[in-house]
Structure 1
Amino acid sequence: MSDSLKKYSFSDLLKQGKIRIPKIQREYAQGRADEKVEEIRKVFVHTLLLVVKGKRPATELDFIYGSNRKGAFEPLDGQQRLTTLFLLHWMMGMELRVAEDRKHSVFTYETRNTSEEFCDELVQHDALQLVKEALAVSKKQCKDLPPSAIIKKRDWFKWEWKYDPTILSMLVMIDAIFHEMGEDWNMDMATCRQNLEHITFHLLNLGDFGLSDELFIKMNARGKQLSDFDKLKSTLEEELQMQQKETNEQGLPLATEADEEMWRSMMDGAWIDLFWHKYARQAIIDTESEDADARKKRRLAAAKLSEVQFKKLLLRLIALQLLENDNTSKQLAEAAYDMRESNIDGLLFAYTDSLTELRSGEKHAVVPTTTPTLNFKQLIQDVCSLICEDSNGIYFEISYLLPDTSHIEKDKRTLFDSFLDTNVPNDVELTFYAMLLFLRAFPASKTRKNEQELAAFHFDKNLHRAWLKNLEAWVRSARNILLNDNNNQRIDKLQFSKEATFSLKQMVKDLATYVHEEGLNLEKDRHAVKKFLKDGTKNYQRLDNQSLAEERLKAALSLLDDEWEERIDEVEQHPYLWGQIRCLLNWSDNHLDAFKKYSERLLGMLGCIKDYSLTYYIAMLTFMPNCWEENNRLFLYNKDRDNSFKRYLREHTREGQAYGKNIKALIDLWTDSYPAMSAIDFLKALIADRQENCAPWIQCLVKCPTILDEAWNKRIYSQSGHVIIAQRKTLNGHCLDPILLYLRNVCQKDKIENDRFTFYDSKGEYEHAFQLQTDNHQYLVEWYGTEGEYSIKTDHETAAIVFAQQDMIEHMEKIIHGCGLAKGSQVTAMG
Structure 2
Amino acid sequence: MNNTILSTQSGERLSFYKLFAEKGYRLMIPIIQRDYVQGRQSTQEVRETFLQALYDYLDENKPNRDLDFVYGSLNTVHQTKDFIPLDGQQRLTTLFLLHWYLAQISENMPNLRETIFEENKSKFSYETRSSSAEFCDALIDHDIDFHELLIPDEGRDNSLSKTIANSSWYYLSWKYDPTIQSMLTMLDAIHKKFAGKLEFFERLIDEEQPIITFLFLNLKEFKLTDDLYIKMNSRGKLLTAFENFKAKFEQHLDSLDKPYYLTRGSATEKVTIKEYFSYKIDMDWANLFWNYRTLQNRSKNEKDDNLDDELSNFIRVIFANQYATSVKDIDDSLEYLLGTQNAKKRKDYTHLISFHKYKELNALSGESVLSLIDSFDNLVNGNDKIKSYISDFYQFYYDEHQVFENALKHNFTNNQERVCFHAYVRYLILNKDRKGIEQWMRVIHNLTYNTIIDGTPEFTRAVKSIENLLPHSATIIDYLQENNKIEFFSSWQVLEEKIKAHLLNKSTNEWKTQIENTEKQSYFKGQIGFILEFSGIVDYYNEHGNCDWADDEEKKFFEFFVTYSQKAIAIFENKNQKYNSDFVWERAVLTKGCYPLKFKGDSVTQKNKINLLHTDVASNNIARDFSWKRLLRIEENEREKIFVKQVFDDDRLKI
Please give the TM-score of this superposition, normalised by the length of structure 1. Answer: 0.24
Greater C-alpha radius of gyration: 1
Please give the TM-score of this superposition, normalised by the length of structure 2. Answer: 0.30
The structure with higher relative contact order (CA 8 Å, sep 6+) is: 2
